[in-house]
Amino acid sequence: MRILVTIASRHGGTWGIGEVVADTLRERGHDVVMRAPEDVADLAGIDAVVLGSAVYVAHWMPSARELADRLEDELSAVPVWLLSSGLATQPANAANSPHETAALMHRIGARGHRSFHGRLDRSVLSFTERATISAARAREGDHRDMVAVAHWAGQIADALLPVPA
């Protein structure tokens, strides 16, 4: 099965999560294409999609939201899973669940959504991002659980196995 993993990531942390998803799906025998949302023109030849975004101030990045809007009909026609990655130390169901996710899941019939803790490196942040992070009292460091990411990707791989006749 040909799977598109498309991830919106500002500083590379969420992209790294996408790489683990893509690698796990490849290890399970799938043909995987990984691209940034702005590099996806259509879903021609794609059988399933994992669409993800870093979360900033409780919202997905614009490029991921724009891809979902632009390709809504095509996304509705294939199995889709969503992932979010946000503030490293905030509870996933509070800080990492963007407002748009529930509506998007409903619109495209996504099979699931998973939030993951992120990575925080203040040295790569803009002044505005540093101010936002300070207000949220997030801890610096890499808090991503790549074992959990690979496990989730394995569940996706299992869900895409052909059903015996």
Q: What is the pTM of this model?
A: 0.83
Q: Indicate the average pLDDT of the chain.
A: 84
pLDDT score recorded for residue 78: 98
Residue 93: pLDDT band with limits 50, 70, 90:
very low
Tell me the CATH number for domain 2-159: 3.40.50.360
pLDDT score recorded for residue 43: 98
Q: Minimal CA–CA distance to 23: which of 152, 112, 117? A: 152
Token representation of residue 88: 């490293």
Q: Mind listing the pLDDT tens digit for each residue in 25-75?
A: 999 999 999 999 999 999 999 999 999 998 876 778 899 999 999 999 999
Q: Mind listing the pLDDT tens digit for each residue in 102-132?
A: 889 999 999 999 989 776 655 666 556 655 5
